[in-house]
Structure 1
């Protein structure tokens, strides 16, 4: 049974982010997949990059959903007290 590069403890990873502000880790030597970009200056062992993702990606909702929800909230008429 082969081991994935994602399972290796001695692998070096980078952090990726997409247009929806969603994060992933990726082996540093693999080409960055379409639709993703590397986060500048973030590279290291699995624990290091996962710690960065955990601290940075605090809202799991896609950016488009957060933006839509904000527009809906701003469009709501103000509640009035009777």
Structure 2
């Protein structure tokens, strides 16, 4: 039997569903119309490689940007109050 090749987007989606949403590989496989053992292999390879999911870096940077913006706003507010009080 010839091996079936799946697009990377499909593999990534399957990995996200198993890793992030904690769905069983059999459920993900039935939703995406692929074999459950293929999903298990993709997840195993992903976990072994320790590479971040696509978009995970973007999400991490977005959260970090929000934290920095909150800190900046607090400092600007503090500076304005100090200037009004002593300036």
TM-score, normalised to structure 2, is 0.27
> Greater share of helix residues, 1 or 2?
2
- Whose Rg is larger? 2
TM-score, normalised to structure 1, is 0.28
Bigger relative CO (Cα 8 Å, ≥ 6 apart): 1
